[in-house]
Amino acid sequence: MIRDPRMARRAAGVGARRPVWETGGVALFERDDRELMQQIVLLVDKDRPALESEGVAAAAIASVNAFLAQPDRPEWRQWAAVHFGKSVRRADARTFPKIVAEFAEPLGAVEGEARLEGGSDGGLAIAFVPAPKEELPKKIAKLQVSGTALPRTLGERAELLAAREDSTTPTPEPTERLPSADLPDGPEAGRNPSPAGEASPDGARAEREAGGAASPDAVVLVLNDTLGMSTGKACAQAAHALFAWLLDAIRRDHPRVDAWLEAGQPVSVRWAGADDFKDLQRQATGPLIRDAGRTEIETGSVTAFVV
């Protein structure tokens, strides 16, 4: 992880020398799987799960940290020359540190952390320099992509942990067993997405339960909560949005990047219902991110942006 903001700031300056990073304010789409992909591994600890917003923010921060650490590597220019893509995989508490220890240095991986005030123990992820999918080490390739889910609120987290604890208590009859309390599976697990056109009650509750307002230097990631994205999908879209914002800001508003790095890269996640998401687009300070439609959601759906 980049722990010295001055180091990250110098790295950002290197990446700003040429307009190869130009996005021109246009929407960015995910890229074809045959091209370079940035792999992101998210820690999903079943015994001490992060809140979803913490996991999403950690994945996005890890994504940009991998670039800031080594911006002159040729893979970045090749990757950013087309519609850059990311793949978010999950690792449990035993596997995650092994992935970090074995692959961080040789594959140019950097961690990202995020902790909400009043939240859980925080989110943790590691992101790699983009590489062809066929070159992915087997230990990383076998990590699951689909079905990643984290609890949205502190209340959901407490219920999840209570269910896990209860599931370890023996019952007299097999038919009376409590259902498995593993982290929920599927794109809609662990949440109650609002119908299109309605505000997101879960998003509002998450903001209240996290406690306090975001840092004045925070980058606010706005995610479309009407799409029912899984945690993994939301991580990828948030990473797209933060990366696109960073590349634009390096050229257009370098002092803003400096302030963000000096403040410790604070990131706030906002889950927006349809009306809120549409209204906030007018305040976007980076490109709108649209999905290629290969997995969970319809092609061209606007998924995320930064305000």
**So what's the pLDDT on residue 199?**
33
Average of per-residue pLDDT values in the chain? 78
Mean pLDDT, residues 116-143? 89
For residues 86 and 179, the answer to whether their CB atoms sit within 8 Å is no
Q: How confident is the model at residue 121 (pLDDT cuts 50, 70, 90)?
A: confident
Q: How far apart are the first and last CA of the chain?
A: 25
CA–CA separation, 147 and 232 (whole Å) = 7
pLDDT for 293 equals 66
Q: Where are the beta strands (DSSP E) in 153-262?
A: 219-224
Q: What is the arithmetic mean of pLDDT over 48-64?
A: 96
**pLDDT at res. 288:** 95
pLDDT beyond 60 at 30? no
Q: Which residue has the higher pLDDT, 230 or 19?
A: 230
In this prediction, what percent of the chain has a pLDDT beyond 70?
71
pLDDT tens-digit readout, 188-214: 233 333 332 333 333 333 333 333 346
CA 109 to chain centre: 15
pLDDT for 214 equals 61
Q: Which residues contact 94 (CB under 8 A, 6 or more apart)?
A: none
pLDDT in tens, 242-293: 999 999 999 999 999 999 999 999 999 999 999 999 999 999 999 999 987 6
Give the domain ranges of the chain. 16-146+188-306
Angle at 45 between CA 157 and CA 62, to 5 degrees: 105
Q: Is the pLDDT of residue 86 over 70?
A: yes
Strands (E), the chain: 28-29, 37-43, 85-91, 110-114, 123-127, 219-224, 267-272, 289-290, 302-306
CA distances to 68, 74, 140, 192, 306 from 131, rounded to whole Å, are: 17, 11, 12, 35, 26
Query: pTM of the full predicted structure?
Result: 0.77
| The domain defined by 16-146+188-306 carries CATH number 3.40.1490.10 | yes
> Tokens representing 56?
């999403």
Residue in the structure block whose two tokens are 């606010």? 220
pLDDT at 170: 52
Over residues 211-228, mean pLDDT: 82
Instruction: State which amino acid sits at residue 65.
Output: N
94-105: per-residue pLDDT in tens?
999 999 999 999
Lowest mean pLDDT among 91-95, 97-101, 119-123, 157-161: 119-123
CA 273 to chain centre: 19
Angle, helix 5-15 to helix 52-69, in steps of 10 degrees: 60
**Higher-confidence residue: 180 or 88?**
88
